[in-house]
Structure 1
Amino acid sequence: MIVNLTLTGMPFFLLLGVLFLISCLGFIINFADTMTNILKIRIFMTVITAIYMTILFCWTGQQLIDVSNNLFFSLIGAPWYYWNLKNIKILLILIINCTKNDNIVLAGICVDYKLLVVILRISVSYALVLFKLRKSSLV
């Protein structure tokens, strides 16, 4: 249920989140000298909130991967040699099903810590490109 709910909101999150971070960072870099202190605080709090939500979203996806990985290792450590043949076969089926970690993937994008790094890297690089464009247009 959580995976289906996340898959419906993931495209909007990725698109709007990256565009939002790029625009906020670009605005801060380009207009930091002309902003009032109150506006600086508001934009800083908005950026911090957006980064926090991105971290929370990626952390939740990573927790899903970690829990399914821990389940696999728990099944491997089960004392199967005391069980009857039917239960051993059920355990082997469970182990085979747990070899593939559960994760939230949409269009080849997996929600985990790597996504967080990629989003932050893209946002900062585009903001710096916008800053360079502004600097070159002022000359």
Structure 2
Amino acid sequence: MKTITLLFFAILFASNAKAQEWQTYYEGQGITIQYRPAEIDDAQLGISHKRIVFRYENKTDKEVQLNFNRLITYSDSETAAKPQEKKYHVSIPANSSVEYNQANSMDKTFYLFAQDKKNTIKRSLINFDIRDVTTN
């Protein structure tokens, strides 16, 4: 039994560590868009959420204005899936990246709400898609 418990915790730890790594969603035009899950707990704001956070990397030697549409689908216990599409823009300095951090934690360019851990908000993220990626 002890071996099974240790094996369970080892698998849980390994899958949790992998979940925190950046995953590449898009790569092209000298740009990489990456994402990873994050748990956000802010007692002062009363937030206890799961989010998908983003990092945008510019591999070119010029500043880039990245433009894209994000299609997200949420569901809750009362309604069917609700797709929403919105356009986003982000400036990325040459040979660098910008990503979700404390300073931009309320800017939805850098995150998606996935789920309320307190279950106050009933909707939860089902899927997201990044479309129509262009640079200026």
Which TM-score bucket, shorter chain as reference?
Answer: under 0.3
TM-score w.r.t. length of structure 1: 0.25
Asked which structure has the greater CA Rg, the reply is: 1
TM-score w.r.t. length of structure 2: 0.25
